[in-house]
Amino acid sequence: MSPDQLVGLLMLLVATAIFVYYTIWTFVLPFISEENIIQAFFLPREYAIKIPAFLLIVGVTLVGAFVSSVLIKSTQKKTKSKKQN
């Protein structure tokens, strides 16, 4: 396997593990009693909403910053080329 394929496989495995963990955390854990030992492996339920909401806000902010920087650089190139002509 090439290094790119290994990185892709690792990313796929991490994403699958996170998906399985979150699915169990949100859909299965509410039906298991609080005294069960499996409850110790998961964060409190309030974080099931807070963590994805935080990640969504950070992601949207980063995408917005990237798009803004691309648009600003594009505008600067256009004005620079117009001044030279």
52-80 pLDDT tens trace: 999 999 999 999 999 999 999 999 988 88
pTM to 2 decimals?
A: 0.71
Q: H-helix or E-strand containing 77?
A: helix 47-84
Backbone conformation region of residue 42, classed left if phi is above 0, alpha if psi is from -120 to 50, else beta: beta
- Tell whether 48 and 37 lie within a shared domain: no
55 shares its domain with 32: no
Number of domains in the chain: 2
- pLDDT at site 81: 80
Q: pLDDT grade, residue 84 (50/70/90)?
A: confident
**Could you tell me if 52 and 78 lie in one domain?**
yes
Using CA atoms of 80, 82, 83, 84 in order, give the dihedral in degrees to the nearest 10. 90
Claim to verify: residue 50 and residue 77 sit in the same structural domain: yes
The parent domain of residue 14 ranges over: 1-42
For residue 28, the 8-state DSSP code is: I
- Give 33's Cβ-side CA count (13 Å radius): 3
Whether residues 34 and 58 fall in one domain: no
Backbone angles phi, psi at 49, to 5 degrees: -100, -40
> Is residue 38 domain-shared with residue 49, that is, in the same domain?
no
